[in-house]
Structure 1
């Protein structure tokens, strides 16, 4: 045999081996998916997650492309040339599923850059491909995915209350304007679960319609386990929900470390923490909007609920949220901090804007136009130590209770400090109600360089009604309140207050 013939024979044998390897690899991956519980249809489908005809504004349908003969473009398992990177998912061709080839790398398993990420994998506008890639990355110690631009990925199947495989490795998903949603007529499940050791980063993505209907369920959109991490950047979580009876975290349930930046959590529902329930975890929210979230109106607490962890909200808007106590934020235990943020137009039974049972810090912020119905504290309900620094509290209303701006019920060991702040134009208009600006039921309040002006209540005092202890430092002004600035008589005087 000549050298040329020998070379040609070797090349033919190599090509044959490559074809066999590709087919075996394809079948092996299907077997892995089946073992994991994700394969629901033999050979060609890996998960019962389809996107058929459900669409969202500006989103492409996640349906497989077809050629003029009604066959999938790129040839399915038949090989084909792959065209301009539209290679098949079967035997390899150019740009094929397993080998990569010479296509432009837009198919499953092919690596191409996104914003400089050379190893990112591009995902087809197909929920099955998204699921298959997540299974692969969990098995391959993590990686990065780029979703199809503006694609709508609709999930229908439910495994362990999840619509996607649990995240157990460091995985980054560049959403590229895409949306991931639960099918309206599908089973109830959340979208993502970040397990122990999982580190999920999401950007430029919308997550919607995650739903858990059973009592005791957690995290309608995303659940983060202890020792798990979640990072959201330009992400929207919208209309996710948990059962309103004993089920928390309508959008997110966090036991790990969650960071939210440039994102929006809106119209989510749950018993406690309609937007985020933080259980002994760390939650940081920056440059984001928490708006229109609804907790159980009978026994639910706030859009953001802190249960023994830490919450820090910075440069963010908390608005139009509803809860039984604490419309925007309820600090049940742990430490919560609000900085350079606006807490406005929220509603609750008590503490229309914020209610705290533990340490609270509010700095350089605005608390305005919040409402408490009958539990006191249109803007703030303070039941433990708090520092309110350089903050404006105005336009808040306690409709049928005391403390239009602030209601204080704490102890001498856990004082409340107002520093460089303005408490003005708040109201407690209900019959017999008082403390239009501040109502102190119990405990110690220190006013330092603070103004309490223009507040109104039905009975005195309209400015500061004191049943505890008030101390003052620096320039304190308590003026122009109706019917009086402070109590005319009594055993609890307010220093430097006249009339």
Structure 2
């Protein structure tokens, strides 16, 4: 091998190693969560007082600005989020004043980024002597996730809380205008609006899992969506949840749908309205699977105008208002529901022995996976004696089960996502680095041998 050839090899491998080091050093870091710890249960509105604490309002404002406000410090400000706001376990955050009037009166700063409020069974409420306002407003750039949280007493019933393009005071607890809302492991109760007593979504996405809506109201001559109102073409998904004892003066005591709603393992019970006590569908599509619909206090279980109510099978209805068409549906069948169990942070309705919903869904069918699928309480379904029996039960509750499921999707845990590096990139880089080091060493050794052998 000539001296020039060896020098070229040394140069190539040296350049390769230096380039690899530079590549790894310039790789963008994985998105890091910005965690903000709320240290005070007090309520402050802008302009905030610099007193060293971090209230919920200040934490949300810090997330919106992506920078420190008062005592709201974080580990990754300036990253653009996502933001995780941690509340004190079992604490109560009472809102006493209007923070802003964007799309109506709101008790807290608007959500314009990806924000998760980790409640740990905390409560956010409007104070009894406070003016009328909804609790939370999500703008079209925002994504709000509420986890293990109780939202109550939000009130949107005046001209100052009207949402865009509708003419109604919207969303007693949450108004979502064009953004995304995820509600899980939460309880929304005693909220009031003209449309969407607890939740109103206008041209936005909503996902509700493992949650209960109870005792919410849509009031006024056009009151609609006692618990939930969905306007626009975008979808709403409700799974493993209970919609119970909500009221609307006009339409949709439980749900007023004007978009595309998917309902799976849900219990609708005791809701009332002039039209569609449990569900009212207008020019939209609602698809029910594995659900219970019954005991409407007024207006029947379902009402639909210029829309479609469909079935994915295994539904139980105590009338035939929803006109479910699958052979596995049970129409005009008593639901066998018990009374609301309010001893839990998120209340549920148990099934009575002998309910037609029990073991209706065979294991392996329609999303019923033995030992894996769980009910609203995360209790195992269809896993044998005292673990749900031979099949899954329709609705949110599984009868005769007392074991928690072990296979829970990450997005259902009440924890922060881990900050993980790009494992594939670093693994590949390590292999390339080892190979490069070996080749570089081999080239140097051969160069040394060449020098030795070329001596006279």
TM-score norm. by structure 1 comes to 0.48
Equivalent residues of 2:60, 2:109 under 8 A apart: no
What corresponds to 1:275 in structure 2? 135
* 1:422 corresponds to 2:298: no
Q: Deviations over 1:280-332 (max 9, x none)?
A: 21111111111111113453211111111111000000000001101111111
What corresponds to 2:238 in structure 1? 362
Seen in structure 2, the aligned counterparts of structure 1 residues 472 and 202 have a Cα distance that, compared at 3 Å, is: farther
What corresponds to 2:280 in structure 1? 407
Structure 1 CA distance, aligned partners of 2:202 and 2:99?
A: 20
Equivalent residues of 2:84, 2:117 under 8 A apart: yes
Q: 5 Å matches for 1:87-166? A: 161-164=46-49
Q: Deviations over 1:336-374 (max 9, x none)?
A: 000000000000110100000131100000000000012
Q: Could you say which structure has the higher helix fraction?
A: 2
Seen in structure 2, the aligned counterparts of structure 1 residues 270 and 250 have a Cα distance that, compared at 3 Å, is: farther
Equivalent residues of 1:405, 1:437 under 8 A apart: yes
Q: Could you say which structure has the higher strand fraction?
A: 1
2:200 paired residue among 310, 326, 330: 330
Structure 1 CA distance, aligned partners of 2:195 and 2:332?
A: 30
Equivalent residues of 2:43, 2:94 under 8 A apart: no
Equivalent residues of 2:212, 2:242 under 8 A apart: yes
Count of residue pairs the alignment pairs up: 272
Structure 1 CA distance, aligned partners of 2:35 and 2:265?
A: 44
Structure 1 CA distance, aligned partners of 2:137 and 2:174?
A: 6
Equivalent residues of 1:283, 1:311 under 8 A apart: yes
Seen in structure 2, the aligned counterparts of structure 1 residues 421 and 225 have a Cα distance that, compared at 3 Å, is: farther
Structure 2 CA distance, aligned partners of 1:260 and 1:323?
A: 23
Secondary structure of residue in 2 paired with 1:479? coil
Secondary structure of residue in 2 paired with 1:325? coil
Seen in structure 2, the aligned counterparts of structure 1 residues 144 and 337 have a Cα distance that, compared at 3 Å, is: closer
Task: Quote how far apart the aligned CAs of 1:410 are.
Answer: 2.0
Q: Deviations over 1:261-292 (max 9, x none)?
A: 123220167887x1110102111111111111
* 1:250 corresponds to 2:107: yes
Task: Quote how far apart the aligned CAs of 1:478 are.
Answer: 1.8
Seen in structure 2, the aligned counterparts of structure 1 residues 267 and 476 have a Cα distance that, compared at 3 Å, is: same
Q: Deviations over 1:8-62 (max 9, x none)?
A: xxxxxxxxxxxxxxxxxxxxxxxxxxxxxxxxxxxxxxxxxxxxxxxxxxxxxxx
What corresponds to 1:10 in structure 2? none
Seen in structure 2, the aligned counterparts of structure 1 residues 180 and 408 have a Cα distance that, compared at 3 Å, is: closer
Equivalent residues of 2:37, 2:85 under 8 A apart: no
Q: Which has the higher contact order (CA 8 A, sep 6+)?
A: 2
What corresponds to 1:437 in structure 2? 301
Equivalent residues of 1:363, 1:389 under 8 A apart: yes
Equivalent residues of 1:289, 1:318 under 8 A apart: yes
Task: Quote how far apart the aligned CAs of 1:244 are.
Answer: 6.9
2:314 paired residue among 425, 449, 474: 449
2:254 paired residue among 373, 379, 388: 379
Q: Deviations over 1:196-254 (max 9, x none)?
A: 43277999xxxxxxxxxxxxxxxxxxxx9995664322252522425779534322311
* 1:308 corresponds to 2:182: no
Equivalent residues of 1:246, 1:271 under 8 A apart: no
Structure 2 CA distance, aligned partners of 1:317 and 1:261?
A: 13
* 1:198 corresponds to 2:67: yes
Seen in structure 2, the aligned counterparts of structure 1 residues 238 and 143 have a Cα distance that, compared at 3 Å, is: closer
Structure 2 CA distance, aligned partners of 1:233 and 1:408?
A: 37
* 1:231 corresponds to 2:84: yes
1:291 paired residue among 152, 167, 183: 152
Equivalent residues of 1:345, 1:371 under 8 A apart: yes
Task: Quote how far apart the aligned CAs of 1:256 are.
Answer: 1.0
Task: Quote how far apart the aligned CAs of 1:143 are.
Answer: 11
Structure 2 CA distance, aligned partners of 1:351 and 1:143?
A: 34
* 1:351 corresponds to 2:225: yes
Structure 2 CA distance, aligned partners of 1:143 and 1:416?
A: 37
Seen in structure 2, the aligned counterparts of structure 1 residues 233 and 446 have a Cα distance that, compared at 3 Å, is: same
List alignment gaps of at least 5 residues for structure 1: 1-141, 167-172, 182-188, 204-223, 429-433, 456-462, 482-499
Secondary structure of residue in 1 paired with 2:259? coil
Equivalent residues of 1:340, 1:364 under 8 A apart: yes
